[in-house]
Amino acid sequence: MGKNWEEIAEKIIKKETAVVERNKGKIPYTAKNHVFDDRSDKKDICWWTNGFYGGTLWQLYNATKNDLFKDCAVELENKMDACFMDYNGMDHDAGFRWLPTSVANYRLFQEKESKNRALLAAANLAGRFNLNGNFIRAWNDWGDDRDTTGWAIIDCMMNLPLLYWASKELGDPRFKAIAVAHADTAMKNFIREDGSVRHIVGFDPATGEYDRDYGGQGYGEGSSWTRGQTWALYGFTLSYIHTGEKRYLETAIKVADRFAERIPENGLIPVDFDQPAEPAYIDSTAAAIASCGFIELAKVLGENKASGGSAASDGEALSKKYLAAAEKMLSALDELDCDYNPDHDELLTRCTAAYHDKDHEFPIIYGDYYYIEAIWKLTGRELFIW
Ligand code: GLY
């Protein structure tokens, strides 16, 4: 029998209603002993994940209209204003931070201040574009011996929707042009022949020439860090949605097909598809993000069938296949990795930031966010964020 996604959505609402009550004012990244930490102080306020709890609150608000979710989301968004005063705190993750917060608020309530914040963030993101190599610079230097001036990372595909949004909002093509140029560079330099995806590519920042790629947060050079695969899967799907360019749809399909054939029997996703069999580290954020990407791709392909013809029936078959892939991973998360206890702050329990980190398999806020987004997509509760 199929899963009862409605029942799961109701369990999430019950839990998150208790979670928001006892975490007012916090911006969590992880949970220790089932209690959220807080990244809202000065040294952590620019952390790249700080928008995800805001996004969680807006998704919950959209589903329940409970004002507490809204009030806490607005408070979090206001706190993040401190980032605009810290040049180094601003990086390419402007999309991850201001789409689930300010753009979400603006979409729901047309708040002028929220629009202003999101446009400032978009302008800063656009300012990271390297015209020599047609890519958006990922990070700022970390104060060690690594020069990251010419580095781009696949994760940035998820930040591009902030630029698509800004162009549409302002009626100004510049932001979208930068997003398209970056997406084309990513398509050419990050996607391997077999549909797997690199994490970091370094370019010569002065000539724009490809230099080399790096294993980044995955197992190593040439490997397939699963969250990176998901940023590409969902990111190219979104670039197709925002531009209608078929090449992005084809790229999303190529990545999705490779990912789908590597989903393990039990539906739980490893940190890297090419990691050794032991230790069998899991990253549930990858399962949750991939599920969102698969569902959105299935939707797009399902809608295309309206045009008829054999390509359309291919689209229909792919659409079913991708929805099944998402449902398999979400069922696995629900049964094997979800903590619905309202007394515990975290939802997903086995997330991993990077393969070579000291710690593995702990709660991470964007795992919770994307799990909720995926369940909301299946049950018609979603506020479209990206
Ligand atoms: N964007 C960084 C990560 O996925 O860990």
pLDDT in tens, 171-220: 999 999 999 999 999 999 999 999 999 999 999 999 999 999 999 999 99
Q: How confident is the model at residue 305 (pLDDT cuts 50, 70, 90)?
A: low
Q: Which residues lie closer than 8 Å to 385 by C-beta, 6 or more apart?
A: 55, 58, 59, 99, 100, 103, 104, 373
Residues 6+ apart with CB under 8 A from 339: 34, 346, 347, 348, 349
Average pLDDT for the chain: 97
Residue to mutate, 217, 230, 369, ligand 1, most ligand atoms under 8 Å from C-beta:
217
Question: Is there a contact between 56 and 365 (Cβ–Cβ < 8 Å)?
Answer: yes
Q: What is the pLDDT of residue 314?
A: 87
pLDDT of residue 311: 66
Which residues fall within 8 angstroms of residue 153, CB to CB, at 6 or more apart? Answer: 92, 138, 139, 199, 200, 201, 216, 228
Condensed to tens digits (0 to 9), the pLDDT of residues 44-83 reads 999 999 999 999 999 999 999 999 999 999 999 999 999 9
Choose which residue among 29, 46, 48 to substitute to test ligand 1 binding: the one with the highest number of ligand atoms within 8 A of its C-beta.
48
Closest atom, ligand 1, to C-alpha of 227: 4
pLDDT score of 162 more than 90? yes
CA distance to 169, 288, 364, 373, per residue, from 38 (Å): 33, 23, 12, 22
pLDDT digits (tens, 9 = 90+) for 102-161: 999 999 999 999 999 999 999 999 999 999 999 999 999 999 999 999 999 999 999 999
Q: Reply yes or no on whether the pLDDT at 308 is more than 60.
A: no
Please tell me the number of Cα atoms within 13 Å of 67 on its side-chain side: 0
Instruction: For residues 281 and 51, give the distance between their C-alpha atoms in angstroms, rounded to a whole number.
Output: 26
Q: How many angstroms does the Cα of residue 246 sit away from the middle of ligand 1?
A: 26
Ligand 1: which residues within 6 Å by Cβ? 155, 217, 227, 353
pLDDT at 243 over 60: yes
Can you tell me the distance from the alpha carbon of 192 to that of 197, in angstroms, rounded to the nearest whole number?
Answer: 6
**Could you give the CA distance from residue 237 to residue 234 in angstroms, rounded to a whole number?**
5
359-370: per-residue pLDDT in tens?
A: 999 999 999 999
Report d(CA 143, CA 173) in Å as an integer: 35
How many whole angstroms separate alpha carbon 262 and alpha carbon 286? 13
In the chain, where the domains are located = 5-379
Domain boundaries 5-379, CATH class:
mainly alpha
Q: Residue 14 has which token pair?
A: 């019950």
Q: What pLDDT, on a 0 to 100 scale, did the predictor assign at position 1?
A: 72
Q: For the stretch 126-143, what's the b/e string if a residue is b when 16 or more beta carbons lie within 10 angstroms of its beta carbon?
A: bebbbeebbbbbbbeeee
Q: Which of 92, 227, 355 to mutate to test the pocket of ligand 1 (most atoms within 8 A of CB)?
A: 227
Alpha-carbon distance of 213 to 152, in angstroms, equals: 10
Which atom of ligand 1 approaches the CA of 231 most closely? 4
Spacing, Cα 252 to ligand 1 middle (Å):
19
Look at residues 158, 321, 319 and name the one whose alpha carbon lies nearest to residue 229.
Answer: 158
Give the position of tokens 């954020």: 285
Task: Give yes or no for a contact between 283 and 227, defined as CB atoms under 8 angstroms apart.
Answer: yes
Distance 315 CA to ligand 1 centre (A): 30
200 CA → ligand 1 middle, Å: 11
Question: What does the pLDDT look like over 253-304, one tens digit per residue?
Answer: 999 999 999 999 999 999 999 999 999 999 999 999 999 999 999 999 998 7
pLDDT at residue 285 in the model: 99
- Protein residue with least CA distance to atom 1, ligand 1: 155
